[in-house]
Amino acid sequence: MFYRETGDFKTSYAGDIQTFPLALDRNRFWIVVAFAFLVVPFFVNSYWEKAVLLPFFIYALAAIGLNILTGYCGQVSLGTGGFMAVGAYACYKFMTGMDIYIPMGGGEYYEILLPPLNIAACIFLGGLTTAFVGILFGLPSLRIKGFYLAVATLAAQFFLVWLFNKWEWTYNYSATGQITATETSLFGILITGPNTEPWATYLFCLTFLFIFGWIARNLVRGRIGRQWMAIRDMDIAAEIIGVNPLKAKLTAFAISSFYIGMAGALYFAVWNGAAEPTESFAIDKSFDVLFMIIIGGLGSIFGSLIGAAFIVLLPVLMKNLLVGMLGWPTDIAEYLQLIVVGGLIVFFLIKEPHGIAALWRTIKEKLRLWPFPY
Amino acid sequence: MNIHAQAAAETDKDYESAEIAHGISPRHIGEVVLEVRNISLRFGGVKAITDVSFDIRDGEIRAIIGPNGAGKSSMLNVINGFYHPQDGEIWFHGKKRKPLKPHQIAQQGIARTFQNIALFKGMTTLDNIMTGRLTMMKSNVFWQAIWQGPAQAEEVRHRETVEKIIDFLEIQAIRKTPVGKLPYGLQKRVELGRALAAEPKLLLLDEPMAGMNVEEKEDMCRFILDVNEEFGTTIALIEHDMGVVMDISDRVVVLDHGEKIGDGTPDEVRSNQEVIDAYLGVSHD
């Protein structure tokens, strides 16, 4: 009744392989997109921007990245926080003017100085840098699997955070060891720095999420995505039908890190404006993003979005409810929120291991026939 | 003309002339496609295969039989590059094959199915069979990312081929079902479809009928024969059901304890004393 498939016929394969094969779904999707792009910017205020929407977009991007690696290619990673740090620091270097010194021997240096780049380019290059680092840390995946690989990526997490604490070049020798976003703009509109307008940063992050979410969806439904899923489901059979495991795993690491790096760059430059490795990119970032994709649904782009929304919005919602409406003390509300999130993770692992995305599929399946299931 | 004589094409010769009369090119068994020469494979001290040689001709159905642990599956693993034998050579299309990785061998046109089904459980039937086309899909990451032009055209083109295979195997109804939910017999069929999608020159089937009931076996036999006749695919299969083996295969090679003990047409193998001993046991006194 609510979910009509009847009468929606396909006459071409191109029509059948669309992301939303049903006109109903497709229209609903475009309405949401139009609303987000055309209506919300006029109403968004600083609270919604900083506390709700930007973190949602940024974590959704990171979750899509991790989902490509873990959900689609089956390689567990606990290095998300570290990779986000790489994106953030690379973005910082590019936005303050990348300076590279290549020792030529005898105390001589060959200097490469780049001018400060456009903010969108910085975010993109932050992603690319992270992709290279991701490939490097993905190399062990060719030998080890499962828990052992997770531990190897954990090494990436700790190493990278240590690196950005110790290597002064990465934070331009600042006394505090912190990196701070400089004021940058796109088409004359401020995107980073202390004086940004909520709608500008909102649209900037939303555009990144929309474009790269769409690209992720295209990648996972085509040749590359099938290679990843084949490796995930049965690596021996994948190899025997012609999938090169080296290529498949390393592309997954590269593209996943690219997304996570961009999320890290946005996190630092647009959302927070400043970052510090031990605080901003600690191991709990890795766990947060992992929880998002487990709760949202492994192997689903939609699941990444839902999972990110869940983890980001639930605390905000509970805080507003308990502190704002019921007048509870803040610390008790915070503990309760941790308990609820933990409980929900356990609940989902037991009840629906494939996450909210699978739950939604079941609901759709039921709605197709409702109210006459036979 | 006697109508009964025409209807009952009893011998192969009758069948062939009937085919010619209907404008169908008859089965043709040609040159040697793949030859294994003096293969020996050891795992530490365990000898899995000892000095085995045989050949597979173009267009034939070649069975590999033998009691449990005879080294049949190991032999297939050697052929598609999963194991590397310590001694011996493999000649493919008249050329000696270098030691290659399994995915490179897949590129050369050897596909296989597995004894224990090795489908991609999280993917639909359609996606599973589409993975069989991966070696033929070439569009680059950029086009894949924006899903326009070459990427979509390629996807649609391969989808057409895959739909033909789906029609051929009569699995239209389960096109979009995740394969993990399918019953065993259908999973075996999907796995055959995935191997066929690669359009292999040589198709290796590891016990395609294991664990099936009589009807499912008959279906599977029909598919194997059709693949062989319609597409001219060369097939090497391992099977334990002697009735099936003797019925459908052109030549049979018999392994026992990693050694070859018989090779020839089903009739020759059936009357080979060593083969009879291996299957029925012989008193050691």
Closest listed residue to residue B158, CA positions, set A193, A142, A17: A17
User: How far is the C-alpha of A356 from the C-alpha of A79, rounded, in Å?
Assistant: 24
B-chain residues near A243 (CB < 8 A): 103, 131, 134
Q: Are B205 and B117 in contact (CB under 8 A)?
A: no
Distance (Å) of CA A83 to CA A98, A163, A165, A215, A245: 19, 12, 14, 20, 23
Sequence spans of domains, chain B: 29-109+200-280, 119-198
Pick from A229, A240, A243: CB nearest B80: A240
> Which token pair is A325?
């409406």
Cβ-defined contact of A218 to B195 (cutoff 8 Å): no
Query: pLDDT value at position A257?
Result: 93
DSSP 8-state assignment for residue A170: G
Pick from B106, B146, B159: CB nearest A241: B106
Size of chain A, expressed as the number of residues it contains: 374
Sequence spans of domains, chain A: 22-369
Rounded to 5 degrees, what angle do the CA atoms A227, A229, A230 make?
65
Residue A246: HSE in the Cβ half-sphere, 13 Å Cα cutoff: 4
Instruction: Report yes or no: A240 at the B interface, CB cutoff 8 Å.
Output: yes
Cβ-defined contact of B118 to A224 (cutoff 8 Å): no
- Asked if residue B3 has pLDDT above 70, the reply is no
Position A99: which residue type? D
B251-256 and B259-264 beta bridge pairing: antiparallel
Q: Enter the pTM of the model.
A: 0.86
Query: pLDDT value at position B2?
Result: 45
Q: Are B124 and B109 in contact (CB under 8 A)?
A: no
Instruction: Report yes or no: B150 at the A interface, CB cutoff 8 Å.
Output: no
Query: pLDDT value at position B12?
Result: 65
Q: Which of A142, A219, A228, A240 to mutate to test the interface with B (most CBs of B within 10 A)?
A: A240
User: How far is the C-alpha of B203 from the C-alpha of B165, rounded, in Å?
Assistant: 15
Q: Which helix (H) or strand (E) holds A339?
A: helix A330-351
Question: Phi/psi zone of residue B64: left (φ > 0), alpha (ψ -120 to 50 degrees), beta?
Answer: beta
Instruction: Report yes or no: A11 at the B interface, CB cutoff 8 Å.
Output: no
Distance from CA of B142 to the nearest CA of A (A): 9
A-chain residues near B198 (CB < 8 A): 241-242
Q: Which helix (H) or strand (E) holds A195?
A: none
> Peptide bond before A21: cis, by omega within 30 degrees of 0?
no
Pick from A222, A237, A299: CB nearest B155: A222
* Phi, then psi, of A39 in degrees rounded to 5: -105, -50
Cβ-defined contact of A226 to B145 (cutoff 8 Å): no
Instruction: Report yes or no: B146 at the A interface, CB cutoff 8 Å.
Output: yes
**Burial of A60 from C-beta contacts in 10 A (0-12 / 13-18 / 19+):** buried
User: How far is the C-alpha of A6 from the C-alpha of A271, rounded, in Å?
Assistant: 45
> Which token pair is A349?
């692992």
Cβ-defined contact of A13 to B139 (cutoff 8 Å): no
The β-bridge partners of A186 are: A189
How much of chain B, in percent, has pLDDT values that exceed 70? Answer: 92
In chain A, DSSP finds a helix count (H) and a strand count (E) of 17, 6
Residue of A nearest to B198 (CA): A241
Interval B59-90: pLDDT, tens = 889 999 888 888 888 898 899 888 888 888 88
Cβ-defined contact of A223 to B144 (cutoff 8 Å): yes
Cβ-defined contact of B195 to A241 (cutoff 8 Å): yes
DSSP state letters, chain B: --HHHHH---SHHHHHHHHHHTTPPPP---SEEEEEEEEEEEETTEEEEEEEEEEEETT-EEEEE-STTSSHHHHHHHHTTSS--SEEEEEETTEEPPP--HHHHHHHTEEEE-SS----TTSBHHHHHHHTTGGG----HHHHHHT-HHHHHHHHHHHHHHHHHHHHTT-GGGTTSBGGGS-HHHHHHHHHHHHHHT--SEEEEESTTTT--HHHHHHHHHHHHHHHHHS--EEEEE-S-HHHHHHH-SEEEEEETTEEEEEE-HHHHHT-HHHHHHHH-----
Pick from A219, A223, A237: CB nearest B118: A237
Instruction: Report yes or no: B80 at the A interface, CB cutoff 8 Å.
Output: yes
A-chain residues near B101 (CB < 8 A): 239, 244
- Asked if residue B236 has pLDDT above 80, the reply is yes
Distance from CA of B99 to the nearest CA of A (A): 15
B-chain residues near A12 (CB < 8 A): 156
Cβ-defined contact of A14 to B127 (cutoff 8 Å): no
The answer for residues whose C-beta is within 8 angstroms of residue A146's C-beta and 6 or more apart is A76
Sheet strands side by side (includes B32-43): B46-57, B32-43, B87-92, B95-96
Instruction: Report yes or no: B135 at the A interface, CB cutoff 8 Å.
Output: yes
Cβ-defined contact of A242 to B103 (cutoff 8 Å): yes
- Asked if residue B111 has pLDDT above 50, the reply is yes
User: How far is the C-alpha of B141 from the C-alpha of B150, rounded, in Å?
Assistant: 11
Better-scored residue on pLDDT, B23 or A22 = A22
CATH 3.30.565.10 given to domain B29-109+200-280: no
User: How far is the C-alpha of B245 from the C-alpha of B259, rounded, in Å?
Assistant: 19
Pick from B107, B120, B156: CB nearest A14: B156
* Phi, then psi, of A60 in degrees rounded to 5: -65, -40
The β-bridge partners of B252 are: B63, B264
Closest listed residue to residue B91, CA positions, set B30, B28, B31, B27: B31
What's the complex ipTM?
A: 0.82
Closest listed residue to residue B256, CA positions, set B115, B78, B72: B72
The β-bridge partners of B63 are: B237, B252
Distance from CA of B17 to the nearest CA of A (A): 38
A-chain residues near B102 (CB < 8 A): 239-240
DSSP state letters, A64-105: HHHIIIIIIT------HHHHHHHHHHHHHHHHH--EEEEEEE
Instruction: Report yes or no: A330 at the B interface, CB cutoff 8 Å.
Output: no
Taking only residues 158 to 197 of chain B, the set having a beta carbon closer than 8 angstroms to any beta carbon of chain A reads 159-160, 163, 194-195
Cβ-defined contact of A233 to B122 (cutoff 8 Å): yes
Pick from B145, B154, B195: CB nearest A218: B145
Rounded to the nearest 10 degrees, the angle between the axes of helix A198-221 and helix A301-319 is: 150
Cβ-defined contact of B131 to A14 (cutoff 8 Å): no
Distance (Å) of CA B65 to CA B209, B240, B241: 13, 7, 9
Closest listed residue to residue B153, CA positions, set B162, B142, B144, B141: B144
Cβ-defined contact of A240 to B103 (cutoff 8 Å): yes
Distance from CA of A214 to the nearest CA of B (A): 8
Q: Are A75 and A249 in contact (CB under 8 A)?
A: yes
B202-206 and B87-92 beta bridge pairing: unpaired
B-chain residues near A17 (CB < 8 A): 152, 155-156, 159
Interval B148-203: pLDDT, tens = 778 888 888 888 889 988 988 888 888 888 888 888 888 888 999 999 998 888 99
Pick from B111, B122, B195: CB nearest A232: B122
Instruction: Report yes or no: B137 at the A interface, CB cutoff 8 Å.
Output: yes
Instruction: Report yes or no: A38 at the B interface, CB cutoff 8 Å.
Output: no
B-chain residues near A232 (CB < 8 A): 120, 122
pLDDT tens digits, chain A, 374 residues: what are they? 566 677 777 777 777 777 777 777 788 888 998 888 888 888 878 888 788 889 999 999 999 999 999 989 988 889 899 999 999 999 988 888 777 777 777 777 777 777 787 888 888 999 999 999 999 988 888 888 888 888 888 888 999 989 888 887 878 777 787 888 777 777 877 777 777 788 888 888 899 999 999 999 888 888 889 999 999 988 888 888 888 888 899 999 999 999 999 999 999 888 888 888 888 888 888 988 998 898 888 888 888 999 899 888 888 888 888 877 787 788 888 888 888 888 887 887 788 878 888 888 888 878 877 777 66
User: How far is the C-alpha of A104 from the C-alpha of A73, rounded, in Å?
Assistant: 42
Q: What is the CATH number of domain A22-369?
A: 1.10.3470
The answer for residues whose C-beta is within 8 angstroms of residue A132's C-beta and 6 or more apart is A254
Cβ-defined contact of A226 to B102 (cutoff 8 Å): no
B234-238 and A184-186 beta bridge pairing: unpaired
